[in-house]
Amino acid sequence: MDFDYTAEENAFREEVRNFISENLPPKKERDKNFLNTWLEKVRAKGWVGFSWPKEFGGSAGGLIEQTILREEMALAKAPPLGTSMMGLAWVGPGIMEYGTEEQKRKFIPDILDSKVTWCTGYSEPNHGSDLAAIQCKAELHGDNYVVNGQKIWTTGAPWSQWIILLTRTQFDVESKHDGITCLLVPMDAPGVEVRPIENMAGDKHFAEIFFTDVQVPVENRLGAEGDGWKVTVSALANERSSIGEVTQMFAKLENLKELVKVTYKQGKPAQEDPSVRRKVAQFEMKIAAMKYNGLRYLTKQIKGEPLTSETSVNKLHRASLEIEMDDFAVELTGQAGLQLRGGDAAVDGGTWSKSALNWPNVVIGGGTPNIQRNIIAERLLGMPKD
Amino acid sequence: MNFGFTEEQNLLRDQVERFMQDTCPMPRVRELSSTGGFDEALWKQIGELGWLGLLIPEAHGGLGLKWIDQVVVLEAAATGLCPLPIASHALASTAILTCADDAQKGRWLPAMASGEAVCTLGLYDDANWIDPAAITATAKASDEGYVLDGTKPFVSDASNADYLLLAVQGPNGLALAAVGKEEVAITPQPTMDSTKPMASVDVKGVHISADSLLPMTTDQLSYLTDCGALAVTAEMVGAGEAILDLTSDYAKQRIQFGKPIGQYQGVKHRLADMYVDLESYRSLCYFAGWCADDDPQELARAVSLAKGYASDAFNQIGIDGVGLHGAIGFTAEYDAQLFLKRSKWARPMFGDSDFHLDRVASLGGL
């Protein structure tokens, strides 16, 4: 056991820090070209798709260096390293693992260069948590699949150019996990209609998508026909350590402490209230637990031991923290805490009230807490499936 | 960066767990705890295996390992609720290593490393207060050394110890007084957890030699308290794992309404939450274990994060472990209840969750 980094790792951390101090101006000084310049520079550094093989334009970076990179970027509150979060997180890795040579050539560079944004077409009106039961139909006619059906809650659909789409190519199957096929579809294909849905925070991040006789060339199938479930599961397993996430949570905790220090409750400083102090300490405890859980899992990965479903542990912590920390901040600050951005008495510019309404993004997206509990109970504790 | 155990540490864990299963299984634990918690033969055996001298330098007959290794042993022993005073002995070793001079170390440590002498540590004189001011027993200078006064309540394993190190207010500040069991009056103080025997120790009028008083700074007192909290947390990791295993196995086998109860989400999700909490305080505990020797500056915060989490989480795991079993879990005959009792015992030891949360808040700038 050893929490120190090697000289090379420390040098890499130093390199990232130097890069950030040279290339990340304070928010007020950023002009409208800032983001493009930033994206070009991190790309030139080889930090986009950092862990991807060099043949695909990545840097073949190790797990620890990747963790350091994420940690430092999160610490500096830097913008993302690419505009296609899902492209970098699982679409790209999925294509590298299952795609044809042509697909790799066609899609990977655009993900790395932030030219194309991907969204993920999984959930349907009747199949959310029960994802494998999807019904969106794809029928092979000649060289094209013809897609008919509907997706919903598709995050990023309003501004994405491509979608990784789970369809059903076979209906009379023994297991619902069979007969699923993964297609790569341009969002501007004829017959694709996107209807954004407003969420309770007033944002239109997700949408429902209707597919009517959409023609998808067979060369846009990812993996074999009927292998869609396998492709999905192994692509999602590419989500690696959650260390960058932990750094963000620590930053949020610091903001919360600053708020506690300037807040008065019942005419007294909130930070003298034992229940306030203990609640904040409990947040710190959970975030620290996420950190050290994450480091244990990272160590397992470095040793080449496969992670089964351990990441669900931190997902559950993250879910409860997302809800509880904002809720705590809003409640702590009384009626002023209720005001949204622009309100005359809004607390911290409405940051807390806004995210108090935005938690389902993180909590429900990617599998609800109860789904995470099913995963832990079934895969780690061996409970029988429902 | 490597947050994992070495091959040797994993072997040690396996060895201790096997010892609990084969040599000191639950029926034996019940027997032992009904008769005071000690068995000389078992103690000698683990002494020969080296487990009693893990922290003691090789020069004094020990293995010269670290607290993280001690954590491994305490965790593994607690999977079987080991009633032997391993934790107390380790804390007494740490107290001597921290506060004693070379001559004193040479005098006590070799017999402790072999297990020939059983030692324990008693710090505070108030059952519900952790602070230097909660040490009220005294050592006053006398002709040939010191004379002690006071009664130390709830000293772990006092009835089974040959020597006791007891915190006192000495002529020059805090100190540890080393006393032999024959010199003091020990009165058992049974608690709900009979696998963790405790007793009050009356030292009124006891004379000790000048070299039996070890000066102790408040920082050293904090360090020893933190090691105590670490030891208890390590035991909570092992005991938590054992009751979760017991309950998971039961949930797979027990059929109700035609299905194993583990198939119902009401049961499944409770088990998942137990796993999440256990996994989390386990990670925090291992980090604290590493800090004890490799980053002592960080120990207070690390221990408070770990014990603060574990105290309440293990308590809930104990309740759910019994509760998910239904009526059978409530019976004296079934082992689940023993783990619930351990969770109650562990809660106030070396600071309850409020104590540790308050410290996390203060150390974190509030």
How far apart (Å, rounded) are the C-alpha atoms in residues B356 and B309? Answer: 9
Averaged over B139-155, what is the pLDDT? 96
pLDDT at position A242 is 57
- Partner-chain residue, chosen from A2, A64, A257, that has the shortest CB–CB distance to B365: A257
Nearest to residue B69, comparing CAs of B58, B53, B84, B89? B53
Averaged over B121-150, what is the pLDDT? 97
pLDDT at position A386 is 79
Averaged over A289-301, what is the pLDDT? 92
Residue A241 has pLDDT above 80, yes or no: no
Residues of A in contact with B366 (CB under 8 A): 257, 260-261, 271, 277, 280-281
pLDDT at position A239 is 58
| Active-site pick, A14, A40, A102, A239 | A239
How far apart (Å, rounded) are the C-alpha atoms in residues A143 and A162? Answer: 20
Q: Do A278 and B259 touch (CB under 8 A)?
A: no
Tens of pLDDT, residue by residue over B67-117, are 999 999 999 999 999 999 999 999 999 999 999 999 999 999 999 999 999
Residue B37 pLDDT class (50, 70, 90 cuts): confident
Averaged over A366-380, what is the pLDDT? 92
Run of H or E including A142 = none
pLDDT at position A98 is 95
Nearest to residue A254, comparing CAs of B364, B234, B252? B364
Inform me whether the C-beta atom of residue B265 falls under 8 Å from chain A C-beta atoms.
Answer: yes
Nearest CA in chain A to B241: A381
Averaged over B23-46, what is the pLDDT? 95
3-state secondary structure of B200: strand
pLDDT at position A237 is 67
Beta bridge partners of A166: A182
Residues B229, B303: contact at Cβ < 8 Å? yes
Residue A251 has pLDDT above 60, yes or no: yes
Residues B313, B281: contact at Cβ < 8 Å? yes
Nearest CA in chain B to A258: B366
Nearest to residue A104, comparing CAs of A95, A113, A112, A93? A95
How far apart (Å, rounded) are the C-alpha atoms in residues B222 and A319? Answer: 35
Tens of pLDDT, residue by residue over A301-316, are 888 887 778 889 999 9
Residue B284 has pLDDT above 90, yes or no: yes
Residue B208 pLDDT class (50, 70, 90 cuts): very high
- Partner-chain residue, chosen from A295, A300, A316, that has the shortest CB–CB distance to B276: A316
Residues of A in contact with B6 (CB under 8 A): 1
| DSSP per position, A61-124 | --HHHHHHHHHHHHHTTPPPSSS-HHIIIIIHHHHHHH--HHHHHHHHHHHHTT---EEEE--B
Name the percent of chain B lying above pLDDT 90: 99
pTM above 0.90, yes or no: yes
Q: Which residue has the higher pLDDT, A42 or A240?
A: A42
Residue A334 pLDDT class (50, 70, 90 cuts): very high
Residue A243 pLDDT class (50, 70, 90 cuts): low
Residue B262 pLDDT class (50, 70, 90 cuts): very high
B150-189 CB burial, b ≥16 within 10 A, e <16: bbbebbbbbbbbebbbbbbbbeeebbbbbbebeebebeee
Averaged over A16-39, what is the pLDDT? 94
pLDDT at position A238 is 60
Residue A366 pLDDT class (50, 70, 90 cuts): confident
Residues of B in contact with A12 (CB under 8 A): none
Size of chain B, expressed as the number of residues it contains: 366
Inform me whether the C-beta atom of residue B273 falls under 8 Å from chain A C-beta atoms.
Answer: yes
Q: Which residue has the higher pLDDT, A196 or A89?
A: A196
Q: Do A285 and B286 touch (CB under 8 A)?
A: no
The per-residue pLDDT of chain A, averaged, comes to 93
pLDDT at position B280 is 98
Interface test with B, best of A64, A65, A383 (most B CBs within 10 A): A383
Residues A94, A222: contact at Cβ < 8 Å? yes
pLDDT at position A279 is 98
β pairing state of B119-122 and B163-170? parallel
Tens of pLDDT, residue by residue over A269-286, are 999 999 999 999 999 999
Name the percent of chain A lying above pLDDT 70: 98
CB-side neighbour CA atoms (13 Å) of A105: 4
- Partner-chain residue, chosen from B251, B287, B360, that has the shortest CB–CB distance to A285: B360
Residue B176 pLDDT class (50, 70, 90 cuts): very high
Averaged over A164-185, what is the pLDDT? 96
Averaged over A47-68, what is the pLDDT? 92
Is residue A284 part of the annotated active site? The answer reads: no
Residues B130, B355: contact at Cβ < 8 Å? yes
